[in-house]
Amino acid sequence: MTQAAQSGVNGRPLWRSALVPVLLFAPCVLVYAIFFIWPQASLLGLSASDKAGLTLDHYGRFAGDSYYWDILGRTLGLGLAVTVITLLLGLPTAYVLARSQSRWAGFLLLLTTFPLLVSAVVRSFGWMVLFFKDGLVSKALQSLGLASGPVQTMYTMPGVIIALAQVLLPLMVLTLHGVFKSIDRDLEYAAMSLGARPSVALWLVTLRLARGGIVAGSLLVFSLAISAFATPSLVGGARANVMATAIYEQTVELLDWPFGATLATILLVTVLGLSLAYGALIEGREKMEARP
Amino acid sequence: MDANHLDRRQLLAALAASTVTPFAAFQAQAQAPSFAGRKLITSGFGGSTMDIIQSAVFSPFDKESGAASTQVPMQSAAALARMKAEAGNPQIDMYQFSGGQEAFAKDEGLSQPLSGVSRLATIPADLKDPDGHWVTWAVIAEGIVYRKDKIQTPPKSYKDFFKPEYKGHIAFPAITNGYGLDFLVMLAKAYGGSEDNIEPGFEALKKIKGETIFRAASDLPTLFGQGDIWIMPYDTGNTFKVQQSGLPVAFATPEEGSPAVFITACVAKGAKNADVANAAIDTMLKPEAQIEIARTMRWTASNPDTKLPSDLAGEVPAVGQLAKLNRTKINSMRAAWTERWNREIAR
Amino acid sequence: MTIAWRSPLGLVLLVLCTIAFVYVLLPILVIVIAPLGATGYLAFPPQGLTLKWYQAALNDQRYLTAVMVSLRIAVASALIACVIGIASAYALTRYEFPGRRLLEALFLSPLILPSLVLAVGLTLFFTRTGLLTGPWRLIAAHVVVCTPYVLRVSLPVLRRFDRSLEEAARNLGATPFQTFFLVVLPVVRPGIVAGTVLAFITSFDELVLALFLAEPGTPTLPVTIYSAVQLGFDPSVAAVSGLLIIATFAVMLLYHLLNALRQQRN
């Protein structure tokens, strides 16, 4: 089952077969240990200490305050909304581009990455122009009869969702595209010859095969949406408080590093827990199904 | 444009030089330390402000002293966070602040007393730290910015924000922006409160909490140009910037007073180039530099020896005309007010 | 072959795909077109027509310098992230060991922490240890935030890769290295390329870490842009992004057309 076991059969000593994976992991683990775990552990460690020593007071402050629970809830909601939008639009886009016979497919794929080329600051100013009362969005809504008066999307949570989903959609498309490309078309054929009706069933089969990519893409987009700072701050203004803006406020504006670290730790643990559970759920189901 | 300014300043310098006695000139030159080959890293405010300060202060300083000065763009709050993170082994020698951060820096032991800044003595006591950790080198006047074409009679008071005809056209900065904090204090003052009794400020702010709240000064031109905003609390410097972008706005001094915002400079503890930083701060306090800053940015001079030319005097308020808020009290209440503001105003 | 584009589902997919393109590209179009307006603030549709903001952006030497700084940092970060990320991704998908999922979660966790937290932690760390100098501090920080992208995008592709091909190659006597470079790599290349492109773009557009860790005096492009908008946004800043988009578009188009021409000749 495992590589080690297989190699053991071939008669090689165990330490030699463990050497390859250790060497493969070494550079990444080294970089992470020095430049991520060490610095972040010492910063996040502030969350459990004050001048007197160890304390859980900062966590108590969070737990006892509905204001911060609201912020955590709003952050997760933002992540969820952005993930759903990017999945809904990203799946068709990635699929169409992966299966298109056109010579322009690759070109179009790269075109989707353009929002990532624009600095977050400038991108927010672009949205500002569209989102203000006199902006294009407001005018479009009014002329479509969807709004009776001027609508301001700037400095609102829906504005943040729209702006974030736009810049994260390319990441979803790129992740899914790689997976769709790697799915053997023969598998799709096979499914069809087994009697699946062309369109819908085929689409479902494809989605099933691409499940790993869907998990990866949604976790990527979700993580980035809940940790984004520039867009919620610039497009959301003062009313769209999320964890990242609250962390900024505590760390930079109020210089309360222990509490800023507390918020960061809570965000990290919550999301790690959620994504481990999500990953385990999907992979677990895959294993169950793989069993004869 | 820059070349023009340089010419003008060189002219001023030449004039100044011609009026002093040769002996004094010789002495001044002998005192000027030589920093050839040395570097000065300072935080800066970014954008055109940074460029103007570079050409009005640091370029002449570099030319005189032989140092090479670099400004690293950082908003005051982020700059303080970096100063704290680099405590003990700073990459940045000198910090410029605009939101009272210098007091925090001193309290946290991040700054060191200025030394050898000869013009420090001429700066009034209320514009510098009693222990000499920081000095105000320019002052910005806060007040009311409004659209001239929408509001015919200039606003007179912070109470004007509650006129029903402005409803839906008001904007104000979040409390994390220093101007948002001062707006809260000035509203308290307008309705019988003060730094020690902030209640009336929150009461008043609650009435307009549905209006546009923004975070950064960079939003100003768009707010006035695209956001249908007519009136907001801000400052002379940004009014001037918005005017330059072609929008019909004006600045009004409220009867409750124009709060003074201090632009300060301080030297990081353990700075490698502390001596260069001290010399640069001395240059910032020069009347010539301060006139140039007043001309290009409408910032008020902090050195009382600065005599503005008559065309500028009317445009830039003098330090004496500005209201000095109790910054010690405000700084100590900042965290508590922010928590309350987040819950009662931004929700 | 694939879903028939004319079937109802095919049409739905095509419509959603079109909506996605409009959604992604419309704001970009605003940023390219708005600086053509004569007003001193961004407006759309633009009022009046002028090239002065684009000219101002082109004439400002700082932006070009900053683009070069950002390019250097991004290339270095993306290459390092690509190499160490692919090695780990390959090992993660090929070896089963206790704690594998936890290690994967650890590798991906920089994505979850707001970059400000990373920035403050790293600044404290570099100040205390005095480790690394010059651009390497920022590159180290960017490697940490870019590697998760490489992993995220290449992991599902590597997992999907048919392992029997690999085993066949090994049985035919290929060394593990030969197997990886000759058999695995060609198939999973789209995933690796996508991950590296993402890593590059992420580093190129990263602001907060650069604000704290960039070498004084050599700001990256995002820092330069951020700095320029501090006291009022003027359209020349949008023009900088506009120029970047136009230049990228032109290079892509040229490359694509040349490719098409070459294919036709063959």
CA-derived radius of gyration, chain A: 24
According to CATH, the superfamily of the domain at B141-259+323-344 is Periplasmic binding protein-like II (3.40.190.10)
Q: What domains can you pick out in chain C, each with its CATH number? A: 63-231 (1.10.3720.10)
Distance CA C157, CA C189 (A): 9
Task: Name the pTM for this structure.
Answer: 0.87
- Nearest C-alpha neighbor of A21 from the set C88, B211, C109: C88
The angle, 0 to 180 degrees and rounded to 10, between the axes of the packed helices A105-112 and A66-99 is 170
B184 touches C at CB < 8 Å: no
- Nearest C-alpha neighbor of A108 from the set A118, A93, A123: A93
Top CATH class, A65-114+168-290: mainly alpha
Q: How far is CA A33 from CA A29, A62, A291, B114, C75, in A?
A: 6, 29, 37, 40, 22
ipTM value for the complex: 0.86
Strand partners, B72: B43
Asked whether the beta carbons of A46 and A55 are under 8 A apart, the reply is: no
Domains of chain A: which residue ranges?
1-55, 65-114+168-290
pLDDT at residue A287, rounded to an integer: 59
Residues contacting A123, CB < 8 A, separation 6+: A115, A163, A167, A231, C27, C31, C241
pLDDT at residue B2, rounded to an integer: 43
The beta-carbon contacts of A102-111 under 8 Å, at least 24 apart in sequence, are A103/C256, A103/C260, A103/C263, A104/C256, A106/C256, A107/C252, A107/C253, A107/C256, A108/C21, A109/A173, A109/A174, A109/A177, A110/C252, A111/C21, A111/C25, A111/C249, A111/C252
Contact B346 A128 (CB under 8 A): no
pLDDT at residue A7, rounded to an integer: 43
From B269-273, C91-95, C226-230, the region with the lowest mean pLDDT: C226-230
- Nearest C-alpha neighbor of C27 from the set A217, A165, A223, B245: A165
Distance CA A80, CA B205 (A): 33
Give phi and psi for B300, each to the nearest 5: -80, 140
Contact C234 B221 (CB under 8 A): yes
> What is chain A's pLDDT, residue by residue, as a tens digit (292 residues)?
444 444 444 555 666 677 888 888 989 999 999 899 988 888 888 888 877 778 888 999 999 889 999 999 999 999 999 999 999 999 999 999 988 888 888 889 989 988 888 888 889 888 988 988 878 888 888 888 888 888 888 888 999 999 999 999 999 998 898 888 877 666 666 666 665 566 677 778 788 888 888 988 998 899 999 999 989 988 988 888 999 999 999 998 888 999 999 999 999 999 888 888 887 777 666 655 554 4
Q: What is the CATH number of domain B2-139+260-320?
A: 3.40.190.10
Percent with pLDDT over 90 in chain B: 64
Q: Which residues of B touch A241 (CB under 8 A)?
A: 342, 346
Which of B41, B70, B245 lies closest to C41 in CB terms? B245
> What is chain B's pLDDT, residue by residue, as a tens digit (347 residues)?
344 444 444 544 544 444 444 444 444 444 456 888 899 999 998 878 888 899 999 999 999 999 999 999 888 888 999 999 999 889 999 999 998 899 999 999 999 999 989 999 999 999 999 999 999 999 999 999 999 999 999 999 999 999 999 999 999 999 988 899 999 999 999 999 999 999 999 999 999 999 999 988 888 888 898 888 999 999 988 898 889 888 999 999 999 999 999 999 999 999 999 999 999 999 999 999 999 999 988 899 999 999 999 888 888 888 888 998 998 899 899 999 999 999 999 87
Q: Which residues of A touch B338 (CB under 8 A)?
A: 249, 253-254
Would the CATH topology of B2-139+260-320 be identical to that of B141-259+323-344?
yes
Sole residue written with tokens 């907060």: C208
pLDDT at residue A19, rounded to an integer: 82
Degrees to nearest 5, angle at CA A253 with A251 and A257: 20
B173: preceding bond cis by omega (within 30 degrees): no
- Pairing mode, strands B68-73 and B39-44: parallel
Q: Which residues of C touch B49 (CB under 8 A)?
A: 230-231
Average pLDDT over residues C7-12: 84
Distance CA A164, CA A79 (A): 9
Cβ of B77: how many Cβ atoms within 10 Å? Answer: 23
Contact C232 B45 (CB under 8 A): no
CA-derived radius of gyration, chain C: 23
Degrees to nearest 5, angle at CA C82 with C79 and C83: 90
Distance CA B134, CA B127 (A): 9
pLDDT at residue A136, rounded to an integer: 85
Sole residue written with tokens 């933002």: A78
Residues contacting A208, CB < 8 A, separation 6+: none
Residues B319-329: tens digit of each pLDDT: 888 998 998 89
pLDDT at residue A196, rounded to an integer: 54
pLDDT at residue A2, rounded to an integer: 44
Domains of chain B: which residue ranges?
2-139+260-320, 141-259+323-344
pLDDT higher for C260 or A77? A77
Q: Nearest residue of B to residue C212 by CA position?
A: B82
> By three-state DSSP, how is residue A228 classified?
coil
List the structure tokens of B290.
């301060």
Best probe of the C interface among B45, B74, B145, by most C CBs < 10 A, is B74
pLDDT at residue B313, rounded to an integer: 84
Residues C19-36: tens digit of each pLDDT: 999 999 999 999 999 999
Average pLDDT over residues C231-259: 87
Give chain C's length: 266
